[in-house]
């Protein structure tokens, strides 16, 4: 639904074919269950844009970070999720600077992975949000030297 200049709403109905590997709303759950040996996984996602479209989400491991809980040191695996828009729309989005920013996830390493933190937009054209558990303490970033 969108507002028209005369104050009335325009309602349109479209059908979007949904693939079997659709992962909307389950990204943090999906990331915490990435197999340890996986170099990359790709799933489909419906992008929340004015005209919904199916895009690919590529999730890759990006190393580790350390954190502490109650003074005990632990390791977190870092993952990056990149939205891949196919076809001409993807090329135009890249050239026009409209490619969605990456999402980053921190998952505790070990036998029982736990979501710890994420940074990224929640929807198209929204700011980057940081969501994290209240308990872990993260090392302070070191000041960069010129």
Backbone phi, then psi, for 80, in 5-degree steps? -120, 130
Q: What's residue 111's pLDDT?
A: 83
The β-bridge partners of 54 are: 46
Nearest to 65 by CA among 114, 143, 1, 138: 138
**Domain boundaries of the chain, sorted by first residue:** 20-132
**What is the spatial distance between Cα 115 and Cα 106, in angstroms, rounded to a whole number?**
6
Q: What's residue 58's pLDDT?
A: 92
Q: What's residue 51's pLDDT?
A: 78
Q: How many CB atoms lie within 10 A of CB 117?
A: 19
Mean pLDDT of successive 10-residue stretches along the chain, which has 146 residues: 66 82 84 85 84 88 90 92 77 66 89 90 82 81 67
CB 72 within 8 A of CB 66: no
Q: What's residue 95's pLDDT?
A: 61
């Amino acid at each position: 639904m969108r507002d028209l200049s005369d104050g009335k709403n325009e309602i349109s109905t479209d059908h979007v074919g949904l693939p079997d590997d659709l992962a909307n709303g389950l990204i943090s759950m999906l990331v915490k269950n990435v197999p340890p040996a996986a170099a990359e996984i790709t799933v489909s996602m419906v992008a929340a844009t004015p005209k919904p479209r199916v895009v690919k989400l590529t999730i890759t491991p990006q190393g580790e970070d350390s954190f502490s809980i109650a003074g005990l040191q632990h390791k977190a695996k870092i993952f990056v999720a990149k939205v891949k828009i196919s076809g001409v729309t993807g090329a135009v989005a890249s050239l026009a600077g409209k490619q969605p920013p990456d999402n980053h996830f921190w998952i505790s390493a070990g036998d029982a992975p736990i979501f710890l933190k994420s940074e990224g937009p929640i929807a198209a054209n929204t700011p980057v949000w940081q969501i994290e558990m209240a308990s872990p303490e993260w090392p302070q970033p070191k000041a960069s030297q010129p």
